[in-house]
Structure 1
């Protein structure tokens, strides 16, 4: 082994080099050599008066890059370490196999130190052969608690989990969440954002970052998201601003004569059941017609010259659509019977639907013109009916005679009277009805899912030989088994976006026959009121406790404090309307004739749903 100096022109890349894929970041390596010199010798063997590089291929390519940049010349001398050709294969493999990237924890510490002495990410990347984006990621992670960087160095913390922990800059909180989450990235992200609202949500985009900041709202940045993504730390501010903006828009529509206007955060669950109201169309004025002709001619000329996908066509098309939209209108007679539904889309835009409202429905007493806003959001409405379903299932499971009647009614309705399965309150296809709801909504109840109780009581029934085991059961156990299995198929859920129908009417009959006292099995927890809109809480107080109580609580600024006050003021054994027995009753004639495809069903049950919402 000897160190000699040779001209760059005498060097060649050896075919024996184990690294066959062309290495990346040659430009960065060249920058590093230009800044610091060749810190590590090339390793070569001699053959045919040339020196073949078998270790240091990236450095050799970087030197050739510097020749192109006129930073070095082919006649410049460089030190090389001489080896025999026999040694080349083994040593080339050993060098490449031993080389590995810097550990992320080391990179975080090293890059942070260089930043602290004044180097920016582009300098660090150029001098040390990394991409600038990689350096930037490591610098973001330097915001971690130093103890967590030590844990990362021991490979006891993943990079994804480390990224999630940067959602808080509090080192103590980072450590607490790391321990509580067992280092799971998705759990960390959920724990640090469960009381926050993403800035990519429809509500936040609808309100706008500036309006939120003007009210004192702060944002926790997500350092690893695209753009300026993050989380709003005060979601109640976002909700209040969104509701205020929606209410102002609704007032504008009421002012021009619409009979019914509703503005909600999410799309109304029963909107599909409302008939469309189509606008008329007027002829364009001379000015409008002339401009439309100009736009058509201009777009046609651009398409011929530049192609139909030219960027210049889009703004012209937008202007044309704006003119044609202005030609469509609703007259005073249509507004007098029409309704407007407003909501926030997922992209933050305003959703709108014009529909035929029922003029015979008058505004409820104490409600704003155009009808009151829904008390319960779609998802909460669905959860409340799931809780009610659980309680009724429990009662059916305890009453075998009722379970038998329910089963016979369902079979007779389908086989003798031609009813459809979706109109029945039980699923005879033996499909378990899911009644999962958030734990916080069950905090005040000890109701257990029927399937859990069945799994415990009848655990001894084998999968193989099940029929023989059931044949051998006592009549009492058979009836208990029947009751439990029928109970598991009973379903009174009104799904988010759905509308009560005949199935829910039948469910109310079952609930009434069971004799269950829903209020004895469940009472409203604080979480219920936390999930309701501020305006809905005030309306609820007005209905249940009177106007003075509602006006008194309307001055409470914090939504969480308002929820507590509403909870304390409501009468004992109060139940949300969707959970009351009989909530979805229909007159028998209308229930029998129920058609789920009708656009304009005029039923007492629909009135009940509007009142509860």
Structure 2
């Protein structure tokens, strides 16, 4: 005979006056979390209680009910009601709906724990739909946030999910997507593009949110881009431009969706600024562009202005500030205990003196009338103005004297910038970079001649910068070249072009923005300001110069003659070997100098096989499996991320080592290989994983010339 199932009887609800209730010590919630008691009290005052309190009768010694009740579950609601009573917004005798438990089979602590543990947070999608319904009912974002005691940003983030494709929301509701992925898709309202990106990444290993955002914004421009900063987001939006924003992540201002419109605004503003500079300062010509190629001033004479003279009032102010700073500095040096007041005042005095010393330059009117300026955009979006250049055709012809114009300033590739139209304004007349590579070519090819040229041009500029910081080796390098030319009839080639022809690498875009080029320009500008304007006074200036300054100036001039560029029509084997000697002598390394492979400077300009080879050398075979299925553009971007910080270099940028160094490197690799076998790690730099570099001690020294034979 089947046994009857015992029916469950629920506890009855009773209304109990508030003053008959006491907060139980059995309540397990002791740590504050969630909505504050004050906010909960306000919510109860507005919408009344949504959930009853769970209470138990308090018994006397004989086990009889006393008419008072413990509250083991619902302590926060009890405290909120207590606050309303203390504020005289609710009577002490107000009946409170309670569930009364009179059986003693389950402890009060058990009930309290169950009430808190068995709760389930509202799904973000349900929260979004609820907020959406309230907004459709006429509530604003601020009012919704106030009612539910959340931030306005939280409400906006949830409502932003409305921009996501319904198909993707259904996938999220079915746990096929993560919340972070849904939030990444919300940066755009284009449902078609969202679904395309999801279909793409769903077939790949990489589904990270940064990758989703990058695919969705690959045709946009960052708000922090110098062009956007220069024009201004407000101006861009005023003419109809749209900005995509990410409410879930720090987006630094968002992404501009109309690049063509932005570029048009930049060109118009650059043209206006160029015309204003030409009219205001009286230059014969002004050229403007987003960027000028490195070496764009080749063939132009540079003249420098002088700081505007201080007025009598400014001079008196300067002397007073200097005297006060000297006295405070001496007082601070003698003090046994540091004084924050003195330090603060010294900083203020230093700032005021810097402002007085940072005066605009004044140029000779005759020079300005025949000279010109270049306007471009700096990395921070501000105008970069280079003043004081004279074209050869504008040079004054002095009767009876030959024109010693600068001749032989080599420009690799034959591109000489600065000899364009006569007076007037030209905008953005920069060369277009070539070097096309088939996107889907899976062949491991030798590096193209053009890429080798660009890479070695980059290395030459960095090597110049490094040599300038080592006057002793710079002197030895020049002396070495002199001895070769004096005592050896053959093999006297050197990478130092001692006629002081300075090659201009105008074909390599972006070279002028490198840290090495900027340091060279700053150093050159500083010496240009210090040297006498009249060349007849130069000898006396150099004689009076202290020895260290002469060495520094010598190193700077010598460094500018370095040319380690490999051209398809001129392999320059001996000159490149000489450049390697210089590089080893000063401990030069492109990784330490700051070069890293990017899409623009390498990965986007080689085949997929070359990209995979780079990742394999730097990170191992496992890392190549992360990107080998990607298209060329995506593979290059992912490879840039994987190679970041690895120290990997393409062949033309590697500094060769001599035989002794090769032996030391081999020993280091053997030890590293043993350690790697024990640790099971394959994440070694290329220099410690390439067996081919270690087979022959002379192979490393021949590396520089080795890839030349295979170059296209």
Which category describes the TM-score, using the shorter chain as reference length?
0.5 to 0.7
| Aligned 1:82-481 pairs, distance under 5 A | 82-83=100-101, 87-128=107-148, 130-182=150-202, 183-213=207-237, 215-224=239-248, 229-255=253-279, 256-258=281-283, 261-266=286-291, 269=294, 277=304, 279-284=306-311, 329-332=362-365, 335=368, 340-352=373-385, 360=405, 363-366=418-421, 375-376=430-431, 388=449, 419-421=582-584, 437=600, 442=605, 448=610, 451=613
What TM-score, normalized by structure 2, do the two folds share?
Answer: 0.50
CA contact (8 A) 1:45 1:52 kept: yes
CA contact (8 A) 1:32 1:126 kept: no
| Aligned 1:21-32 pairs, distance under 5 A | 21-26=31-36, 27-32=38-43
CA contact (8 A) 2:305 2:361 kept: no
Aligned partners of 1:93, 1:373: CA distance in 2, in Å?
70
Cα–Cα, structure 1 residues 53 and 129, in superposed 2: closer, same or farther, change >3 Å?
A: farther
Q: How far is the alpha carbon of 1:381 from its aligned partner?
A: 9.3
2:55 aligned counterpart, secondary structure: strand
Deviations 1:8-61 (A, max 9, x none): 334343332222112332344333322332121111234486533221122223
CA contact (8 A) 1:31 1:127 kept: no
1:4 maps to which residue? 14
Cα–Cα, structure 1 residues 291 and 481, in superposed 2: closer, same or farther, change >3 Å?
A: closer
2:582 aligned counterpart, secondary structure: coil
1:78 equivalent to 2:96? Answer yes
Aligned partners of 2:251, 2:212: CA distance in 1, in Å?
21
Cα–Cα, structure 1 residues 392 and 484, in superposed 2: closer, same or farther, change >3 Å?
A: farther
1:63 to 77, 81, 92: 81
CA contact (8 A) 2:54 2:72 kept: yes
CA contact (8 A) 1:260 1:357 kept: no
Q: How far is the alpha carbon of 1:102 from its aligned partner?
A: 0.4
1:142 aligned counterpart, secondary structure: helix
CA contact (8 A) 2:271 2:427 kept: no
2:47 to 31, 36, 58: 36
1:18 equivalent to 2:73? Answer no
2:56 aligned counterpart, secondary structure: strand
Aligned partners of 2:609, 2:431: CA distance in 1, in Å?
22
Aligned partners of 1:432, 1:345: CA distance in 2, in Å?
20
1:160 aligned counterpart, secondary structure: helix
Q: How far is the alpha carbon of 1:75 from its aligned partner?
A: 2.8
Aligned partners of 2:698, 2:611: CA distance in 1, in Å?
11
Q: Which consecutive unaligned segments of at least 5 residues does structure 2 have?
A: 1-10, 61-65, 319-340, 343-347, 393-404, 407-416, 438-445, 456-570, 622-665, 674-690
- Paired residue total: 447
Deviations 1:515-553 (A, max 9, x none): 95x5xxxxxxxxxxxxxxxxxxxxxxxxxxxxxxxxxxx
Aligned partners of 1:52, 1:19: CA distance in 2, in Å?
15
Deviations 1:465-486 (A, max 9, x none): 999xxxxxxxxx9999779975
Q: How far is the alpha carbon of 1:105 from its aligned partner?
A: 1.3
Cα–Cα, structure 1 residues 341 and 30, in superposed 2: closer, same or farther, change >3 Å?
A: farther
Q: How far is the alpha carbon of 1:388 from its aligned partner?
A: 3.7
1:303 maps to which residue? none
Q: Which consecutive unaligned segments of at least 5 residues does structure 1 have?
A: 293-306, 309-313, 395-404, 468-476, 491-506, 519-613
1:21 aligned counterpart, secondary structure: coil
Aligned partners of 2:603, 2:583: CA distance in 1, in Å?
36
Deviations 1:249-288 (A, max 9, x none): 23433443447755443586569999994632234488x9
Aligned partners of 2:616, 2:216: CA distance in 1, in Å?
38
Aligned partners of 2:258, 2:590: CA distance in 1, in Å?
43
Deviations 1:76-117 (A, max 9, x none): 221222336862111111111111320111111222122212
RMSD: 5.8
What TM-score, normalized by structure 1, do the two folds share?
Answer: 0.56
1:52 to 70, 73, 81: 70
Cα–Cα, structure 1 residues 198 and 188, in superposed 2: closer, same or farther, change >3 Å?
A: same
Aligned partners of 1:428, 1:147: CA distance in 2, in Å?
47
CA contact (8 A) 1:277 1:338 kept: no
CA contact (8 A) 1:260 1:371 kept: no
